[in-house]
């Protein structure tokens, strides 16, 4: 177990429920008479439950290696069905807002972060980059991780983001900070900033009921790996997925 919020039986039940939803939405996705709106909703739900299952597996102490195959499936789904504007924040409104709502953004960011720490091939990250390009989403945190995963992509600290919110801005200041300062920034982001900024997220407070899959600040771990930071100041924090960081360091 990697969390103390729930016991193993909770996660076994949660994962079983996710499996049911995953199979249900897979069937919806391949229905020959499915309308585009139904396909969009099914693919979004399929990605959601696939990630929630992985998150619960991580929380329950599962081995990390099988995550790689699951991530490839998720990135394939993302490339095939996700892009096109229908998952963007305020979709259908004018002017178009080139970002995602807080829960979809988190799901994408955490998927990208885990994929990076597990060392997926560069081609998998190209799929992710393609989705952002089609949806015209420019975000420094996405691009910082992609630049570390894709050779010759490069990261521009002066890039113009397509939509600026206060959420995650603290972490972004670590990208160009000196190592000691960056360590302090990441520590501050993990606690108290991360949870405080996510009070409006759908997953906030789920530890109080059956919908809890785990609270993990995957993006802080990915940034720690990319910058090569000494995480001894925060590696034992309950939101920090240190096993993924250790996996990355053992394989790079």
Per-residue pLDDT tens digits for 183-194:
999 999 999 999
More confident residue, 29 or 20: 20
- Of 69-78, 97-106, 182-191, the range with the lowest mean pLDDT is 97-106
Looking at the domain assignment, is residue 2 inside a domain? no
- Pair 22, 50: CB distance under 8 Å: yes
* Domain range enclosing 235: 8-250
Looking at the domain assignment, is residue 202 inside a domain? yes
pLDDT at 191 (0 to 100):
96
Looking at the domain assignment, is residue 1 inside a domain? no
Predicted confidence band at 119 (pLDDT cuts at 50, 70, 90)?
very high
Report how many domains make up the chain: 1
Separation in Å, CA 63 to CA 14, 52, 54, 58, 70: 17, 16, 11, 8, 13
Looking at the domain assignment, is residue 3 inside a domain? no
Looking at the domain assignment, is residue 18 inside a domain? yes
Q: Burial of 16 by CB count in 10 Å (0-12 exposed, 13-18 middle, 19+ buried)?
A: exposed
Predicted confidence band at 159 (pLDDT cuts at 50, 70, 90)?
confident
Looking at the domain assignment, is residue 34 inside a domain? yes
């Amino acid at each position: 177990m990697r969390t103390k919020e729930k016991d193993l039986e909770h996660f076994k039940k949660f994962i079983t429920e996710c499996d049911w939803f995953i199979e249900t939405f897979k069937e919806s996705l391949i229905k020959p008479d499915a309308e585009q709106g139904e396909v969009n909703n099914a693919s979004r739900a399929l990605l959601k439950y696939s990630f929630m299952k992985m998150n619960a597996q991580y929380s329950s102490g599962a081995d990390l290696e099988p995550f790689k195959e699951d991530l490839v499936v998720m990135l394939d789904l993302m490339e095939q069905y996700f892009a096109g504007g229908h998952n963007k924040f305020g979709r259908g409104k004018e002017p178009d807002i080139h970002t995602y709502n807080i829960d979809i953004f988190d799901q994408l960011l955490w998927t990208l972060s885990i994929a990076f720490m597990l060392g997926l091939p560069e081609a998998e990250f190209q799929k992710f980059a393609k989705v952002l390009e089609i949806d015209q989403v420019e975000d420094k945190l996405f691009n910082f991780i992609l630049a570390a995963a894709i050779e010759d992509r490069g990261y521009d600290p002066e890039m113009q983001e397509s939509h600026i919110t206060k959420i995650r801005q603290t972490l972004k200041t670590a990208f160009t900070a000196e190592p000691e300062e960056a360590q302090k920034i990441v520590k501050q982001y993990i606690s108290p900033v991360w949870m405080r900024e996510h009070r409006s997220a759908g997953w906030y407070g789920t530890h109080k009921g059956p919908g809890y899959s785990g609270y993990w600040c995957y993006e802080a771990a990915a940034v720690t790996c990319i910058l090569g930071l000494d995480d001894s100041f925060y590696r034992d924090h309950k939101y920090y997925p240190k096993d993924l960081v250790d996996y990355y360091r053992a394989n790079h």
